[in-house]
Amino acid sequence: MKTDQPLFLNEGQVREHLRMNQLIPAMEKALIDFSAGRVTQPVRSVIKVDVASATGFLGLMPALTPDGLGLKAVTFYPSNAERGIPTHMATIFLVDPQTGTPLAIMDGRLITEMRTAAVSAAATKLLAPPDAKILAILGSGVQARSHVEALRLIRNFEEIRVWSPTRERAEQFAKEIGATAMSAEKAVRDADVIVTATNSKTPILRGAWLKAGCHVNAIGACRPAQMKRPSSNLSGWPSKISPQQCSFTDQLREGKTAAHLPKTRRQRKAVAICSKNLISRSCPTRGLLPWNSSQRNIER
């Protein structure tokens, strides 16, 4: 493609063209490419911002894939919530991998919102029980809402439960999506699929609450301050979790990490499920299956 000027797309224009039912299979392909080693992506680079009016960070996430070359720049400013503007903002820059010619500059806030949920849906499609009926959402922000939209496309949930740190927000969100607000423990008990979508700096989910065979989509703990893990090990989980089965965030209060594996290898172990190289629900396992939806540049 040759052009004198790159294409510019604002959030409204992105919204006109981006559809969740098309995004989910696109994320499946991205995970397969990553698992097959067809993707080059360095660890994200993060700059902490500490100015007079706020603190936040700028993250840079480049990736080279069989289909293209690009970079996502994202900012996170928690205090933006008080200003009435998004806490996360992003820009995506695409270039021609053959020449380096800029192709497009797109608003990335909505893309980030939707692609995270689409990745969770891709994982849930393969890992969650086929007859999953109860969905628990821990959180009430944009990721919580986006996950409800995406997960409803791949499972027919009969009940959706909601918890949020702010009771009023939980009740409002539950009303908007046709769910029921309750405590975190009540929401999670006997749920088939659980989503953790908060910016909490302390763990919000106990392993003892989870039933055998449930699936956990963990979103929101991508920064060190949000990774506070108690020393407890596997005592609260229904059964053993292996690094071949999952990669998960530290929002899970009790469990076992795959920290002894290099990060890239852990990610490939997890996403290889999409290409059916590893454990899937068709295998004779009753283990808990967590999934981290926040770690791969290829998805951006």
* DSSP secondary structure letters along 197-260: E---SS--B-GGGPPTT-EEEEES--SGGG----S--STTSSS---TTT----TTBSS----TT
* Catalytic residue (choose from 29, 72, 211, 240): 72
pLDDT exceeds 60 at position 237: no
Q: Strand locations in 98-164, DSSP E? A: 102-107, 134-138, 159-163
Higher pLDDT, 147 or 250: 147
C-alpha to C-alpha distance for 30 and 66, rounded to whole angstroms:
10
Torsion region of 191: left, alpha or beta (phi above 0 gives left; psi -120 to 50 gives alpha): beta
pLDDT at position 265: 44
Assigned CATH for 119-299: 3.40.50.720
Q: What is the pLDDT of residues 179-223, one digit of tens each?
A: 999 999 999 999 999 999 987 878 888 889 999 889 999 886 555
pLDDT tens per residue across span 122-144: 999 988 999 999 999 999 999 99
- Confidence at residue 81, expressed as pLDDT on a 0 to 100 scale: 86
Rounded to 5 degrees, φ, ψ at 270 are -70, -50
Q: pLDDT for 238-248, tens place per residue?
A: 333 333 233 33
Which of 216, 192, 190 has its CA nearest to residue 204?
Answer: 216
Instruction: Give residue 54's pLDDT.
Output: 85
Task: Tell me which DSSP letter residue 40 carries.
Answer: B
At 58-85, the pLDDT tens digits run 999 999 998 899 999 999 998 998 899 9
72 labelled catalytic: yes
Tokens read off for 131: 């007859």
Measured in degrees and rounded to the nearest 5, phi and psi for residue 160 equal -120, 130
Report domain extents, the chain: 7-111, 119-299
Distance CA 177, CA 259 (A): 37
Residues in contact with 152: Cβ distance below 8 Å, sequence separation at least 6, in sequence order = none
Topology of domain 7-111, per CATH?
ornithine cyclodeaminase, domain 1 (3.30.1780)
Which DSSP helix (H) or strand (E) runs through 59?
strand 55-65
- Report whether pLDDT(145) > 80: yes
Instruction: Give the pLDDT of residue 269.
Output: 43
Average model confidence (pLDDT) across the chain: 79
Neighbours of 46 (CB within 10 A): 16
Cβ neighbors of 291 (< 8 A, separation 6 or more) are 120, 123, 124, 127, 215, 216, 217, 218, 246, 247, 248, 270
Query: Is residue 288 pLDDT above 80, yes or no?
Result: no
Query: CA-to-CA distance for 220 and 229, rounded, in angstroms?
Result: 15
- Measured distance CA(46)–CA(195) in Å, rounded: 25
- The pLDDT value recorded for residue 300 is 54
Question: With bands split at pLDDT 50, 70 and 90, how would you rate the model's confidence at 235?
Answer: very low
Residues counted in the chain: 300
At 293, the pLDDT band (50, 70, 90 cuts) reads low
Q: What is the pLDDT of residue 67?
A: 87
